[in-house]
Amino acid sequence: MTDWLGLRDRAALVAGAGGIGAAAALALARQGARVMVADVDEERLAKLTEQAAELGVNLDTRVADLTDAEDARKAVAGAAAALGGLDVFLHAVGMNDRRPALETPDEVWQRIIDVNLKSAVWTAQAAGALMVDAGYGRIVFVSSVSGLLAHAHHAPYAATKGGVNQLCRVMAREWAPHGVTVNAIAPGYTETDLTRAYLDRPGMRESMVGLVPAGRLGTADDLVGPLLFLSSARSAFVTGHVMYVDGGRTLV
């Protein structure tokens, strides 16, 4: 099969083994990339390893607390050492806590900033340093439509995703001369572990679907194509973009 995306034998690190990160890691592995996945949750990593075995692909895992600057940088360095370099870095780490802004305590703000934004800064900075030196790299963040839209009860989540979008743009501007592209995808309402409990509330799923012109919620698999493209050799002249993968949610 022709390696149209140019991902075969590329070294890829995926930060986050949740629904989107897992789907991306498995897709990269199926394209022939050499993949490592870093996450703080050992059980989640073990489950992903089992999924990879069932699909007949290989990937490595590493337990790491990516909200800690030192551990995040060690995870990136360790992945590069194990994989023989680093060509692709995907950040798919995130959490939310839905409540009114006036009722959001300091510790919730701090935790969401640590998980969603600081982990992106520490890991992408470390990955970018390696890629700039190598003269090639693809960095992709998983953002959200909440970085653009003003959803109620999403203050810290929206603020951090807006921060990720600007982090993406600035890194893209600085690293473009070195062959490194930096982009983000912004999913709309997507069925993942992060959203399941919220969507299971009475009437919530129907309400959310009603806001999407495509007439359905997204899935992790809907995001795989855009993630693979932005991780590939085919996206060499695409940088600093936030791609909305939302079934038209941002149009209404």
| CATH classification of the domain holding 186 | 3.40.50.720
Rg of the chain, C-alpha, whole Å? 17
Distances, alpha carbon 45 to alpha carbons 3, 14, 148, 236, in Å: 28, 11, 31, 31
**What pLDDT is recorded for position 202?**
87
Reference 142, options 91, 83, 215, 203; nearest CA is: 91
**What pLDDT is recorded for position 189?**
83
Strands of 60-63's sheet, edge to edge?
60-63, 34-39, 11-15, 88-91, 137-142, 180-187, 242-245
**What pLDDT is recorded for position 52?**
97
**Residue 218 near residue 249 (C-beta atoms within 8 A):** no
Domain-embedded: residue 101 = yes
Reference 132, options 86, 71, 175; nearest CA is: 175
244 catalytic? Reply is no
Domain-embedded: residue 131 = yes
**What pLDDT is recorded for position 198?**
75
Number of independent structural domains in the chain:
1
Q: Count of CB atoms within 10 A of residue 173's CB?
A: 12
**What pLDDT is recorded for position 194?**
64
Which of 157, 189, 198, 244 is catalytic? The answer is 157
pLDDT in tens, the chain (252 residues): 578 999 999 999 999 999 999 999 999 999 999 999 999 999 999 999 999 999 999 999 999 999 999 999 999 999 999 999 999 999 999 999 999 999 999 999 999 999 999 999 999 999 999 999 999 999 999 999 999 999 999 999 999 999 999 999 999 999 999 999 999 999 998 887 767 777 788 888 888 898 999 999 999 899 999 999 999 999 999 999 999 999 999 998
Domain that holds residue 64: 11-245
**Residue 177 near residue 137 (C-beta atoms within 8 A):** no
Domain-embedded: residue 250 = no
- Phi, psi values for residue 248, rounded to 5°: 95, 10
Domain-embedded: residue 5 = no
First to last CA, the chain: 40
**What pLDDT is recorded for position 197?**
75
